[in-house]
């Protein structure tokens, strides 16, 4: 008998290879001369402005609905239904663009490039989930985000990720956010959009590398709940911090925690925190010294990160297309590479001087020096801050979702006996009426 798990593994292996098939090339047009006149290629019309407002409207409505379903109704099925709708609408229907995750870069570019005007819809997409998170926790992640939804949809057999591993992997998202902001600020690229792992699925097309990455993430997502959201999402980094400040957010129990432990392993994302117990006296002494050391270490890490970021300016600058072109032109001029590429041919056809290009690229390299220093300092600050936060004693008396990590999916509700009581009361109330 074939076991479902075997099918799962076989499917997983083949899926990784199979997504490459989506990247089929187009065949070149015939070279024979005929009477056929090839139509002039025209740029597609820009998307209708109306759709942007419709999207913003749908986002606002779904956020309100998500808030109600997650905090008031507390119904996982309805939350899941809303999530599927958002996956269908924002993902497959609207092709995964605009999304708040990529909008981080638009906002950054607006700040650093006076010539760039951010569309209103993009601004709404960036700001609205932040506002909702500030008041209601991560309701956007729970039911509206299409990237979260596609991962949630494939989660079949959740496996618990050890807390120590989770702490380390989460740092990647901070790095990714820093890099995304830096590259957008420099006008180099929208790295978050370019490496969006799921947009290829939403559009049923894409380059095979990203499709393979996306497929791998979905495969991992069958066992590890929402790996992109937890370990990679740069927007999630901002949402985490805002969610800590939220006044109303997800609670496991609708009333008081009775310490039944039933919800302990309910969360596939490892977001439920246990009540804490007092530390032994000896541990307090060690913790105090460690805290003092880490407080001293923090500025050192920031400084070292800044220095390293500055020193890496040439590597960082290589992301910028102009710098890459300058490098290519230099290599071609000095016969360090063979042949030319389209970009270098186009550059020469434009008649621009290579010295001009080198000067512009050198200037960009210098700007990357400043940006790299800031990025390095940010990374140093994140790592130092993380070490500090892991060295501080928390006080918790109940089982509760971690305000930063909780993705507001509503899975934990049904594990709570108090929730069953509440539902029972509701049903009885309905019967009485």
Partner 1 sequence: MADLSQQTSADEPRVAYQTARTTAKVAGTFAIVFLALFVSNFIGTSVIAPLRENRLVEMKAELRGGDPTEEQLADIRQLDLQIRRNRMWRLDFAHKSGYALLVSVVLFLVAGKLARVLNEPPPRPRSIPDVGAEQIREARGSRWTVVAGLVTLGGVAALLITSAAPLAFVEAKETGPSYASMEEKRLQWHRFRGPDGGGVSVFTNIPTEWDGATGKGILWKTAVPLPGNNSPVIWNDRIFLCGATEQKQEVYCYDANAGRLLWTGDVPVSPAATQARIDPMEDTGRSASTMATDGKRVYAIFVTGDIAAFDFHGRRLWHKSLGVPESAYGYASSLETYQDRVIVQYDQGDGSEDLSRLYALDGTSGRIVWEVKREVPNSWTSPIVVEIEGRPQLITLTDPWALANDPADGAEIWRADCLGGDVAPSPIYAGGLVLAIEPYSHLVAIRPTGQGDVTETHIAWTMDEGGPDICCPVADGQHVYLLESHGLILCCRLADGEKVYEQDLRDNFTASPSLAAGRLYFLSMDGVMTIAEAGPEYKELGKSELGEKCHASPAFGNGRLYIRGLENLYCIGEPVAGGRAD
Which one among 262, 298, 319, 404 touches partner 1, defined by CB under 8 A?
A: 262
Of 107-115, 182-190, 192-200, 272-280, which part binds partner 1 (CB under 8 A)? Answer: 272-280
Which one among 131, 274, 321, 346 touches partner 1, defined by CB under 8 A?
A: 274
Q: Measured from the CB of residue 100, what is the shortest distance to partner 1 in angstroms?
A: 25
Q: Does 421 bind partner 1 (CB under 8 A)?
A: no
CB 169 within 8 A of CB 224: no
Q: Does 188 bind partner 1 (CB under 8 A)?
A: no
Q: Measured from the CB of residue 213, what is the shortest distance to partner 1 in angstroms?
A: 17
Length of the chain: 433
Q: Does 83 bind partner 1 (CB under 8 A)?
A: no
Q: Measured from the CB of residue 313, what is the shortest distance to partner 1 in angstroms?
A: 9
Of 30-38, 41-49, 61-69, 118-126, which part binds partner 1 (CB under 8 A)? Answer: 30-38
Q: What is the CB neighbour count within 10 angstroms for residue 69?
A: 25
Burial class (CB in 10 A: 0-12, 13-18, 19+), 414: middle
Within positions 89 to 118, which residues make up the interface with partner 1, using CB under 8 A?
A: none
Distance CA 235, CA 241 (A): 10
Which one among 288, 348, 424, 425 touches partner 1, defined by CB under 8 A?
A: 348
Q: Measured from the CB of residue 122, what is the shortest distance to partner 1 in angstroms?
A: 29
Bridge partners, residue 273, by sequence: 400
Q: Measured from the CB of residue 373, what is the shortest distance to partner 1 in angstroms?
A: 12
Asked if the bond preceding 84 is cis, omega within 30° of 0, the reply is no
Distance CA 173, CA 190 (A): 15
Of 93-101, 117-125, 141-149, 327-335, which part binds partner 1 (CB under 8 A)? Answer: 327-335
Within positions 205 to 224, which residues make up the interface with partner 1, using CB under 8 A?
A: none
State whether the Cα torsion 55-60-65-70 is positive or negative.
positive
CA distances from 301 to 182, 238, 296, 316 (A): 19, 22, 9, 20
Q: Which of 70, 207, 95 is nearest to 147 (CA)?
A: 95
Of 109-117, 178-186, 190-198, 350-358, which part binds partner 1 (CB under 8 A)? Answer: 350-358
């Amino acid at each position: 008998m074939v076991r479902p798990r075997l099918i799962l593994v076989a499917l997983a292996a083949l899926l990784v290879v199979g997504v490459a098939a989506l990247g089929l090339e187009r065949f070149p047009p015939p070279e024979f001369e005929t009477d056929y006149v090839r139509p002039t290629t025209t740029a597609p019309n820009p998307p209708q402005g109306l759709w942007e407002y419709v999207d913003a409207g749908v986002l606002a409505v779904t956020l309100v609905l998500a808030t109600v379903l997650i905090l008031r109704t507390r119904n996982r099925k309805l939350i899941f239904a809303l999530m599927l709708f958002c996956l269908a609408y924002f993902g497959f229907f609207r092709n995964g663009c605009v999304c708040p995750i990529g909008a981080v870069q638009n906002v950054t570019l607006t700040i650093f490039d006076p010539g760039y005007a951010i569309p209103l819809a993009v601004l709404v997409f960036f700001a609205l989930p932040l506002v909702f998170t500030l008041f209601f926790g991560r309701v956007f992640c729970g039911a509206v985000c299409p990237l979260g939804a596609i991962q949630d949809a494939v989660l079949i057999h959740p496996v618990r990720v050890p807390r120590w591993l989770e702490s380390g992997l989460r740092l990647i998202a901070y790095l990714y956010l820093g890099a995304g902001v830096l590259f957008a600020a420099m006008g180099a690229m929208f790295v978050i959009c370019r490496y969006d792992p799921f947009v290829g699925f939403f559009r049923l097309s894409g380059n095979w590398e990203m499709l393979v990455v996306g497929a791998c993430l979905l495969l991992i997502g069958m066992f590890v709940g929402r790996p992109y959201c937890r370990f990679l999402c740069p927007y999630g980094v901002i949402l985490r911090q805002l969610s800590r400040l939220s006044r109303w957010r997800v609670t496991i129990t609708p009333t008081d925690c009775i310490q039944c432990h039933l919800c302990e392993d309910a969360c596939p994302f490892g977001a439920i925190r246990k009540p804490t117990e007092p530390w032994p006296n000896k541990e307090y002494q060690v913790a105090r010294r460690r805290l003092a050391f880490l407080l001293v270490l923090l500025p050192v890490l920031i400084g070292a990160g800044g220095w390293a970021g500055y020193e890496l300016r040439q590597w960082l600058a290589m992301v910028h297309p102009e710098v890459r072109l300058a490098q290519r032109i230099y290599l071609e001029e000095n016969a360090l590479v063979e042949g030319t590429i389209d970009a270098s041919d186009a550059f020469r056809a434009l008649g621009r001087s290579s010295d001009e290009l080198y000067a512009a690229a050198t200037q960009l390299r210098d700007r990357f020096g400043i940006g790299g220093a800031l990025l390095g300092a940010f990374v140093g600050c994140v790592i130092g801050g993380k070490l500090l936060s892991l060295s501080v004693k928390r006080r918790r008396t109940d089982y509760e979702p971690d305000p930063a990590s909780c993705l507001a999916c509503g899975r934990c509700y049904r594990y709570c006996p108090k929730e069953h009581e509440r539902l029972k009361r509701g049903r009885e109330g309905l019967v009485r009426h």
